[in-house]
Amino acid sequence: MSNTHSIFLKEMGITEWSSRDGSAEVLTPTQASVLVKQSAPVEVQITEHVPQGNWWFFGAQPQGDAQILFQNLIRTLGLTPQEWNWKSATDNLSQLTSPDNGRPLVALAFGGPVAQKITGERDVLAQLRETVLALNTGNDEEIPVIATFDLAQIISKPRDKALLWQDLLLAKSVLQNS
């Protein structure tokens, strides 16, 4: 990244830049202080990422464009590989337990059939969305589940991305309030 690009990003308050190839450039305190001296006075605060919770994603492993969409969701949510896991709806749900790291947990079900299978609900996706459901583990532990569209459906119907985003915001809210 050129020095000019870095200056513009700093002025916009962006301290970390992720390119489309997945690599991230983070300015070191030395680079940030040099940029601040070269441009107008802008206070730059570099903070370390603090995990907010754990995410479980249920559904078919995304392929092709759906995989790119999923990677962009992970990047947008700011999740590190230690903060999320891909789970299968065919897994033995009674064997699933919350991680022992003390952070809250939320599950996101991609697709109506997946949401129905892991929650035991019978309603269609349109009725399951925008509702906090519970993972049907068969034990006393309640793990919140948010039902959303299958990623392949989002690829074929891009207008539904806004609804996916609403579901992600609901999941993030559940996580923050846990």
Res 18: pLDDT: 62
Question: What residues contact residue 27 under an 8 Å CB cut-off, 6+ apart?
Answer: 6, 10, 15, 16, 35, 44, 46
Res 139: pLDDT: 77
- What are the backbone dihedrals phi and psi of residue 145, each rounded to the nearest 5 degrees, phi first? -125, 135
Q: Which residues of the chain have pLDDT under 50?
A: 29-30, 32-33, 35-36
pLDDT tens profile 115-162: 999 999 999 999 999 999 998 887 778 899 999 999 999 999 989 999
Res 35: pLDDT: 47
Structure tokens at 35: 């940029």
Res 28: pLDDT: 52
Res 36: pLDDT: 45
For the chain, the residue count is 178
Q: Are 152 and 107 in contact (CB under 8 A)?
A: no
Q: What is the pTM of this model?
A: 0.71
Res 32: pLDDT: 47
E-state strands within 68-127: 84-87, 105-110
Res 93: pLDDT: 86
